Chain A
Amino acid sequence: MSHIKLKNLVKRFKDTEVLSGIDLDVPEGSTLVLFGPSGAGKTVLLRCIAGAVEQDDGEVRIGGEDVTDVLPEHRGIGMAFQNFALFPHMDAFDNIASPLTACGKTADQIRAGVDTVARLLKIDHVLTHTPKALSNGQKQRTALARALVSHPKVLLLDDPLRNVDAKLRFEMRLELPRLLADQGATVIYVTQDYREAMALGDRIAVLDGGRIIQNGTPEEIYRRPATINIAKLFGDPTINLLDVVPQSDASGVYATLSDCRIQLDPGLSGNVGRECMLGLRPEALSFTTANEGVPVTIEAETPFNEKAVTLVTTLRKREILVSRPAETPAPASGTAHITIDPRDAVLFDRQTGVRLDPNGTSHAAEKAA
């Protein structure tokens, strides 16, 4: 059963449409990551679900019920904000307790509820502090505790890790899935960090310009991105994009890079002669000692998040990034050859930026069907 369902949601501010017909299903107990650049409409979408902003058209259903006319305080939602939105004049305890005081719990129940969640999030020692006296990490945990304390069926988390330091962000990224699973809530999680999206989402919905341009599992988004833009958003270092025109002969469809043949999926035969972009992930490329593959010149190598990233240029001076696990051997300078794992190659239409599907249909057509 789908727990949160959005149907053709539209929101305008003055004359600009910030959400243009959003359709979304989030099954009960699952986590959907809403991913997109800033200004894509993620925050507005979340506020529409919470009831803090009223949509102009379409409907929001929670647990099968249309909540369009339900006030935010009656929607049974827990929400954590990117800027934490703690109440500055209340201490951490009162902040966390606020959802419990609303539903008329006794003082004992409130204390027990707050203590449990505070211990879980390791902030039980700072409950008497006001937000001003809390560190960023403690603020973030307090905000999260406030969202979790009443065990809401729906959790909306608006980039909660954005304003905490890298180490804590990493720790929380490891902890959050279990925390959310224990809650059993249906979660919508907004982020701009693709790693967070990949790690936390059962599914990822990529939002851009007020529309969902792809909705899929992390695997689908990473391996079969619907557009060039999505391919660029996921992956760091970013995907290599090379201009190619697919060709075919008796042994199948292929593209060439520095006179070297890159075998493509035979299903792409419909795109022979089309102006395309070939997307190659840096980790799908590797150096080879054999004298085969694409000849390249090594330009520079930089260490990057447990990886080593090498910038190489082809004979035609096209720049390509090759990454490999840190501390694995590789040629340091001069010329070398790289091989390409063709299974990891993705082909996009150069004009529209849409991925060309091996089954002969473009992804957009597939979505419309």
Chain B
Amino acid sequence: MSEVLLDLQRINKIYNETSRHPVRAVKDLNLNVAQGEIVALLGSSGCGKTSTLRMIAGFEAVSSGQILIKGRPVHALAPARRNVAMAFEGYSLYPPLTVEENIAFALKSERLAKDEIRKKVAEIAHLLEIEDILERYPGSISGGQQQRASLARALIRDADLHLLDEPMGQLEPQLRALLRGRIKHFIKERGLTAILVTHDQTEANALADRIAVMEGGVLQQFDSPLHLKDRPANLFTGTFIGEPPMNVFPAQAEADGDNLKLNLADGVCLTYPASAFSDDLKARLLSSDTFVIGVRPHAVKITPGGHPAKVYANQWLGDQTHVAARFAGQTIVSVRHDRAHHAPGETIGIDLAASDLHIFAADSGRAFSHGGALA
């Protein structure tokens, strides 16, 4: 990794600190972002991602901890003195200015030449497909257009750090898909560093180099999109990342000669050769009472000889089919890349390979293993 641009050290945010019901929005957050990196803060609403972003921008004070940008502590500075640019979820364009004036606003105060400003605005407007509304006022354009104008106003600035708060939440799916690629290219080409707050994992996957998954104010995992998927650190990330979500079942292990048996609910028993698991993992599984196994939907194989499961939904989506069935007292979803015909009510066979199992502790949710070897 190259030079660290942003460093969050043990950040806490407590709202209503002095009241009887303080709310701990962010807990002991450590995070660093390298120069030129795009990081996504991903989580559902109330997970602390927006509070974190607002603390970096300076709109919220940290309750404790330090924020360093390029090694300089900024957490006590006013927003304007941190040299960060932000695109707001609520647009916050200046109503008396046209879209063009809004976008150029920060450049004007930087005293750039007029031609230079016009060129830059034209370029970013083209990128975000808002060329035709540059002369309009914020009040007369749609929410999606306002959002893109706000995004343009942030991206055009030459700041140390660009903060993007749900930058594409108001856009239509097709436009979102198109702009994702363009925005990533724009940021990478200029070597900008960006932090993106989103609840949409497709967006995080497509844009970010690394994703910080947050829940309940706690950082769950900070890793590359690929690792989040292949090596989830705990049950939360495991089930949060991935679409459709990971199938999970409580299970108990039992040694049986050369085999290792995993007992699931409803009398379902998965039998694997003991050699499929590393020795320390086997010991761990046999010594723990219950644990949770997780299988990604694409790894759920439907084979005639498998464990019986009763289909209750079969949805063809054009490029793939989602088959949902009752299995071990729960729903199991299998993603097929062909047009599978399993009518509701039909019994299918389910096969789960040992190498596709993720195993988590039942109490803490921490990952034991991925694909047969300890995590």
Touching in the complex, A and B, CB below 8 A?
yes
Mark A residues whose CB is within 8 Å of B: 37-38, 136, 165-167, 170-171, 173-175, 177-178, 192-195, 198-199, 218-219, 222, 232-238, 281-283, 302-307, 323-327
Stretch of B26-34, B133-141, B198-206 at the chain-chain interface? B198-206
- Complex: A174 Cα to B318 Cα, angstroms: 16
B297 and A306 contact, CB distance less than 8 A: yes
- Complex: A177 Cα to B316 Cα, angstroms: 13
- Complex: A327 Cα to B371 Cα, angstroms: 14
A170 and B244 contact, CB distance less than 8 A: yes
Judged by a CB distance under 8 angstroms, whether B226 is at the interface is: yes
B312 and A178 contact, CB distance less than 8 A: yes
In the complex where A303-B205, A306-B335 touch, is A218 in contact with B316 (Cβ < 8 A)? yes
- Across the interface, which residues of B come within 8 angstroms of A325, CB to CB? 298, 337
B140 to chain A, nearest CB (A): 15
- Complex: A170 Cα to B337 Cα, angstroms: 18
In the complex where A222-B318, A325-B337 touch, is A305 in contact with B243 (Cβ < 8 A)? yes
A236 and B335 contact, CB distance less than 8 A: no
A284 to B, closest residue via Cβ: B319
In the complex where A199-B322, A304-B202 touch, is A37 in contact with B172 (Cβ < 8 A)? yes
B205 and A304 contact, CB distance less than 8 A: yes
Judged by a CB distance under 8 angstroms, whether B229 is at the interface is: yes
A235 and B199 contact, CB distance less than 8 A: no
B245 and A170 contact, CB distance less than 8 A: yes
A222 to chain B, nearest CB (A): 4
Q: Which of B45, B177, B296 contacts A306 (CB 8 A)?
A: B296
Top 9 nearest A-B pairs (CB, nearest first) are A199-B315, A325-B337, A222-B318, A306-B298, A174-B313, A283-B319, A174-B324, A198-B317, A195-B317
Judged by a CB distance under 8 angstroms, whether B35 is at the interface is: no
B172 and A192 contact, CB distance less than 8 A: yes
- Across the interface, which residues of A come within 8 angstroms of B324, CB to CB? 174
A326 to B, closest residue via Cβ: B298
- Across the interface, which residues of A come within 8 angstroms of B177, CB to CB? 236-238
Given contact pairs A234-B318, A304-B202, a sample of 9 additional A-B residue pairs in the complex whose CB atoms are under 8 Å apart: A166-B243, A167-B239, A171-B331, A174-B313, A178-B312, A303-B229, A305-B243, A306-B297, A325-B337
- Complex: A234 Cα to B173 Cα, angstroms: 11
In the complex where A167-B245, A192-B172, A326-B298 touch, is A302 in contact with B312 (Cβ < 8 A)? no
A302 and B296 contact, CB distance less than 8 A: no
In the complex where A283-B337, A303-B226, A303-B229 touch, is A174 in contact with B315 (Cβ < 8 A)? yes
A306 and B243 contact, CB distance less than 8 A: yes
- Complex: A95 Cα to B172 Cα, angstroms: 31
B295 to chain A, nearest CB (A): 12
- Complex: A303 Cα to B206 Cα, angstroms: 9
**CB under 8 Å from chain A, chain B span 228-255:** 229, 239-240, 242-245
Judged by a CB distance under 8 angstroms, whether B90 is at the interface is: no
A241 to chain B, nearest CB (A): 13
In the complex where A166-B200, A174-B331 touch, is A307 in contact with B172 (Cβ < 8 A)? no
**CB under 8 Å from chain A, chain B span 305-351:** 312-313, 315-320, 322, 324, 331, 333, 335, 337, 344
A166 and B322 contact, CB distance less than 8 A: no
- Complex: A344 Cα to B217 Cα, angstroms: 47
A327 and B318 contact, CB distance less than 8 A: no
A219 to chain B, nearest CB (A): 8
